[in-house]
Amino acid sequence: MSSSSGSNAPQAPPVHIPKPIKFLFGGSAGMGATLFVQPLDLVKNRMQLSGEGGGQKMYKNSGHAIRLIIKNEGPLALYNGLSAGLLRQATYTTTRLGIYTTLFDMVSGPDGKPPNFLMKATIGMTAGGIAALVGTPAEISLIRMCADGRLPVDQQRGYSSVFNALVRISKEEGVVTLWRGCGPTVARAMVVNAAQLASYSQAKQFILGTGYFNDNILCHFVASMISGFVTTVASMPVDISKTRIQNMRVIDGKPEYKGAIDVLSQTVRKEGFFSLWKGFTPYYVRLGPHTVLTFIFLEQLNRLYRQRYGNSS
């Protein structure tokens, strides 16, 4: 029997989005955002490797890096490693969202009451750490593909795609190499998730408390940029150690670095303490917009799903 029209008509129940679809949309939203921020990822990686070991710095700042890359390698070089960036989102973001949502439901009260802030931070760190473990092969491929253009032609690895990188790394250096730098990668993910969750929540609360903002995209963007700054400061030393370990070569059976602590100590000793935040600007500028774009794409995918399946009887 059809319901009567008018203002007193019963509201249709909200459309339930199945969990696998939520995970798919989360990974897809992250991949969509990566299409816009990949050049910043490339510049960040290049700057973190510039001046490595106390050598001459290739780039003075982010703008100089972009100009040199376009001049020497062409505009499309800013998208080197895009396939690896997309695979990283498909593996890392999907896994993180899936684990976070599952753990969130497990620790929520029987009445659906959400967990407290500390528990949210804990499951966020857990989800981020496990997801980083899954996403490390794509991460190491991305680092190497982004770094290739700064090397002389005879030293370039020349991966044609992320899948070519994965196959060649496995054959030439062993499957275990796909998880090189896994420790700092997981540590970075845990730091990022903890810092993002705490700072985003506090920033949003502060912004809404000023009375000048409503809870909309503008508020989310400003909160994301504040959160991005805090997260960048907290996570960059771990990130630069991850980047250098994953890009290092093993010469005559001897790796360039013994581990993450060795990277940090060598970097500080040879390049100065503040070089731990090398590539700060592109890292920061990438982090906030990537978060906002991911949420925008995710909301649109959810909206389209509800429109499509909310009308089906």
Give the model's pLDDT for residue 279.
Answer: 84
Q: How much is the average pLDDT of 70-75?
A: 93
Identify whether 312 is part of a domain: no
At residue 12 the predicted structure's pLDDT band, cuts being 50, 70 and 90, is low
Give the model's pLDDT for residue 80.
Answer: 93
- pLDDT, tens digit, for every residue of 275-291? 899 888 888 888 877 87
At residue 176 the predicted structure's pLDDT band, cuts being 50, 70 and 90, is very high
**In the chain, what percentage of residues exceed pLDDT 70?**
93
Q: How is 193-222 classified by DSSP, letter by letter? A: HHHHHHHHHHHHHHHHHTTS--SSHHHHHH
Identify whether 203 is part of a domain: yes
Domain that residue 155 falls in: 19-298
Identify whether 308 is part of a domain: no
pLDDT of 174 > 90? The answer is yes
46, 62 Cβ separation under 8 angstroms? no
Token output for 175: 């499957």
Average pLDDT over the chain reads 85
Identify whether 3 is part of a domain: no
Give the model's pLDDT for residue 265.
Answer: 93
Identify whether 50 is part of a domain: yes
- pLDDT, tens digit, for every residue of 200-223? 777 888 899 888 888 887 888 888
3-state SS, residue 135: helix
Identify whether 44 is part of a domain: yes
Give the model's pLDDT for residue 70.
Answer: 94
pLDDT of 163 > 90? The answer is yes
Give the model's pLDDT for residue 87.
Answer: 96
Q: Which residue has the higher pLDDT, 51 or 282?
A: 282
- pLDDT, tens digit, for every residue of 286-306? 887 787 788 788 878 888 888
Q: Looking at the 3D structure of the chain, how many domains does it have?
A: 1
CATH of the domain at 242: 1.50.40.10
Give the model's pLDDT for residue 110.
Answer: 77
At residue 39 the predicted structure's pLDDT band, cuts being 50, 70 and 90, is very high
Give the model's pLDDT for residue 311.
Answer: 56
302, 17 Cβ separation under 8 angstroms? yes
Identify whether 4 is part of a domain: no
Identify whether 6 is part of a domain: no
Q: What are the distances in angstroms from CA 89 to CA 86, 161, 295, 303?
A: 5, 15, 14, 21
pLDDT of 65 > 60? The answer is yes
Specify whether the backbone of 171 is left (phi greater than 0), alpha (psi in -120 to 50) or beta: alpha
Sign of CA dihedral 192, 36, 146, 178: positive
pLDDT of 3 > 50? The answer is no
